[in-house]
Structure 1
Amino acid sequence: MQPGATAESTYVVAATDTARALGSGALNVLATPRLLAWMEAVTCAALAGSLADGETSVGTRMSIEHLKASPVGATVAVRAELNHVDGRLTRFNVVAHDGDGSVVGHGEVTRVVVNERRFLSRIGAAPA
């Protein structure tokens, strides 16, 4: 894991991604919880190639600003860049742009690399 690692995904806002559908508001626009989920997903993708067998990462802190509404049908590109590594702790800058290049949201996501079996055993859950 080295700072500078990136990942990007592009999404099309569906009716199931809206604030109304997710219960985070009354409007049929991209819900902030969905934007955060997309941001978290690209951080996972950025780490995927550098994790050892049996390792995964868990989100521990998210701080984002959702700046612009995106209607159903809008395209949103989400990008993560690893900017800090301290042992198992990783920190990413995340940004989402719409089809015209406007910033939809941005922020920071922190993840910690863990051994999957050990992590799950601590909470009494079986591995997937």
Structure 2
Amino acid sequence: MQEQPDPLFTPGLTARVELTVTDADTAQAIGSGDVPVLGTPRVLALAEAATVAATATALPAGMTTVGVRVELDHRAPTSIGRTVRAVARLAKVDGRRLLFEVRVADGDDVVAEGRVERVLVDRHRFVERAATA
């Protein structure tokens, strides 16, 4: 029987990123609403940044991950000047598919949580394919 190679990523892998909310991060500025609080698209971008950070050090040369699916519950508003942190934890690996559980918090308060699925791809082929589409 042939041995399987060690997986590049193993469940439990985590990363954290932080953001201090500015005017540019608000729903008003992004166009996703008309209130001066952290906009949902910015919350999602922060959560995705945490998933990218989690895989960054283990990626083989020439490879990257791309987001393919997101489920996010934005539960609480965050005011300008507050600092939020997004934590991504790799929950499942299925071949090239990576499923992360993400949580965004303002101190002890949960701002958002959900799942982000990413797929491992060849960076050059992916960009080349996008350019010819």
**TM-score bin, normalised by smaller chain:** over 0.9
| 1:51 alignment partner in structure 2 | 59
Aligned equivalents of 2:69, 2:100: Cα separation in 1: 10
**After the TM superposition, which residues 76-115 of structure 1 pair with which residues of structure 2 at under 5 Å, given as runs?**
76-99=84-107, 101-115=108-122
SS of alignment partner, residue 120 of structure 1: helix
| 2:78 alignment partner in structure 1 | 70
- Percent identity among equivalent residues? 44
Aligned equivalents of 1:107, 1:123: Cα separation in 2: 28
Determine which structure has more spread, i.e. the larger CA radius of gyration: 2
**After the TM superposition, which residues 21-40 of structure 1 pair with which residues of structure 2 at under 5 Å, given as runs?**
21-40=29-48
Which segments of 5 or more consecutive residues in structure 1 lack a partner in the other structure?
A: none
1:124 aligns with 2:124: no
Report the alpha carbon displacement of residue 27 of structure 1 after superposing the two structures with TM. 0.3
TM-score scaled by length of structure 1: 0.94
Report the alpha carbon displacement of residue 10 of structure 1 after superposing the two structures with TM. 1.6
TM-score scaled by length of structure 2: 0.91
Which segments of 5 or more consecutive residues in structure 2 lack a partner in the other structure?
A: 1-8
Report the alpha carbon displacement of residue 123 of structure 1 after superposing the two structures with TM. 2.3
SS of alignment partner, residue 27 of structure 1: coil
* Of 49, 58, 69, the match for 1:61: 69
Structure 1 segments of 4+ aligned residues over 6 angstroms from their partners:
none
